């Protein structure tokens, strides 16, 4: 396989950063802040697991997209075409997981943006969320607006990330305690928080988006090293941001009940002082827009691959999916429940459905019929099975905790 210089690899950064832009949203900031405030550094292992999981699974998705030059959904349908009963079962499972997870995530994205605007204006988030949802509907169906926003939001989210990392060092956390937090352990009442942390990072539909974006970016299997570097570098950056938020919260606001954006902003006061609330509010808005635009597109990508639609808004079914995911998300965000609760629940729902998407990807990437010589080797299979088993255990535990 062709070798590339470090400079060439840096120039190739793309699809991985898109995925980081998707999962560094209000859900990540909220779940990490609440985890730090409630459990200190105890759940840092969830962040570490999430980073390892996305490196393994997103790398697998990128490799599958490059080798087959088709998306994950299309590969699933093609592989099972001679077994119609199994194919129909998998289509139902994947569709249900992606649709329900997408609606939950959409509610969280809109709510996160709304509490950011609410902190600046004083208008209740349940009023802002529906209006904001309509704005996102307009933005997501105008390509020029999306391209302009991508650049602006990348800058906003990057600045927010730098601020959190700097603040983490300013507040002088106990690094011995941080190391202890990297060792897996969890209290019985922290299961849903664990699921939320993992569900906000390892997002089911991102596996499908990555396979599609990778095949559009790279056309030759010799470029797999570029894709793997893109994945590894991008996901580590995302993990550092998530970890910095948790550590800062665990140092500054530990023991506090986090219910509003103003509560979350207190962790930034050591660096920003009185500017902490408006800064976090703008950051939540920026992160919320980037995630909210990608969410309905991600669900539409998956369903288009499963049912043979065109990846174009000219296809009425594709366009209708975008609209419906947004509308259901608006309804969820306008329920009147505590916005922080909505965001945490949205991440947990994604964690529950995650094992389905992980299993589908692991199965296809391990098939010689699909991947040829680029199928998963033994180490990749073992790592993938490990991610699947842990995600399955957490998903089942979260379901049990509901009862």
pLDDT at position 332, please?
77
- Non-local (6+) Cβ contacts of 280 within 8 A are 29, 116, 119, 261, 264, 265, 268
For 3-15, the pLDDT digits (tens) are 888 888 888 888 8
In whole angstroms, how far apart are CA 143 and each of 93, 149, 150, 377? 31, 10, 11, 39
- Non-local (6+) Cβ contacts of 102 within 8 A are 205, 295, 296, 298, 299, 325
Name the average pLDDT for the chain: 82
For 16-56, the pLDDT digits (tens) are 887 887 777 777 787 888 888 889 899 999 899 999 999 99
Q: Give the integer Cα–Cα distance in Å for 279 and 118.
A: 13
For 190-219, the pLDDT digits (tens) are 777 787 788 778 888 888 888 988 988 898
pLDDT at position 146, please?
54
Query: Across residues 115-142, what is the average pLDDT?
Result: 78
For 356-374, the pLDDT digits (tens) are 889 999 999 999 999 999 9
pLDDT at position 338, please?
62
pLDDT at position 225, please?
92
Where does residue 179 fall: left (phi above 0), alpha (psi -120 to 50 degrees), or beta otherwise? Answer: alpha
Highest mean predicted confidence (pLDDT) among 32-36, 228-232, 272-276: 228-232
pLDDT at position 379, please?
94
Is residue 282 very low, low, confident or very high in pLDDT (cuts 50, 70, 90)?
Answer: confident
pTM here is 0.83
* Terminal C-alpha separation, the chain: 51
């Amino acid at each position: 396989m062709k070798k590339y210089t470090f400079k060439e690899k840096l120039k190739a950064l793309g699809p991985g950063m898109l995925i980081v832009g998707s999962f560094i949203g209000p859900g990540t900031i909220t779940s990490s802040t609440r985890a730090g405030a409630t459990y200190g550094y105890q759940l840092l292992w969830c962040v570490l697991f999430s980073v390892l999981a996305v490196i393994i699974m997103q790398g697998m998705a990128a490799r599958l997209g490059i080798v087959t030059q088709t998306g994950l959904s299309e590969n699933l349908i093609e592989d099972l075409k001679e077994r119609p009963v199994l194919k129909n079962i998998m289509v139902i499972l994947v569709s249900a997981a992606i649709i329900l997870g997408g609606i939950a995530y959409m509610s969280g994205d809109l709510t996160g943006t709304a509490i950011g605007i609410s902190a600046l204006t004083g208008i209740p988030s349940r009023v802002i969320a529906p209006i904001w949802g309509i704005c996102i509907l307009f933005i997501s169906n105008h390509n020029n607006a999306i391209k302009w926003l991508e650049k602006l939001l990348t800058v906003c989210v990057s600045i927010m990330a730098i601020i959190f990392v700097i603040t983490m060092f300013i507040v002088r956390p106990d690094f011995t305690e941080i190391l202890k937090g990297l060792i897996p352990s969890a209290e019985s009442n922290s299961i849903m928080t664990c699921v939320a942390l993992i569900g906000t990072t390892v997002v089911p539909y991102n596996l499908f988006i990555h396979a599609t974006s990778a095949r559009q970016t790279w056309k030759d299997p010799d470029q797999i090293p570029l894709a793997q570097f893109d994945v590894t570098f991008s996901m580590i950056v995302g993990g550092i941001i998530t970890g910095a938020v948790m550590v800062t919260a665990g140092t500054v606001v530990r023991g506090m009940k986090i219910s509003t954006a103003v509560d979350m902003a207190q962790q930034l006061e050591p660096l920003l002082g009185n500017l902490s609330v408006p800064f976090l509010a703008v950051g939540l808005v920026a992160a919320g827009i980037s995630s909210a635009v990608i969410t309905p597109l991600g669900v539409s990508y998956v369903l288009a691959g499963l049912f043979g639609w065109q990846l174009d808004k000219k296809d009425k079914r594709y366009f209708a999916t975008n609209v419906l995911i947004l509308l259901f998300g608006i309804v969820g965000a306008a329920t009147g429940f505590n916005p922080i609760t909505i965001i945490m629940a949205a991440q947990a729902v994604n964690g529950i459905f995650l094992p389905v998407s992980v299993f589908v990807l692991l199965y296809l990437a391990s098939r010689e019929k699909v991947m040829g010589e680029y199928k998963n080797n033994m180490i990749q299979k073992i790592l993938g099975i490990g991610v699947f088993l842990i995600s399955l255990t957490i998903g089942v535990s979260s379901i049990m905790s509901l009862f």
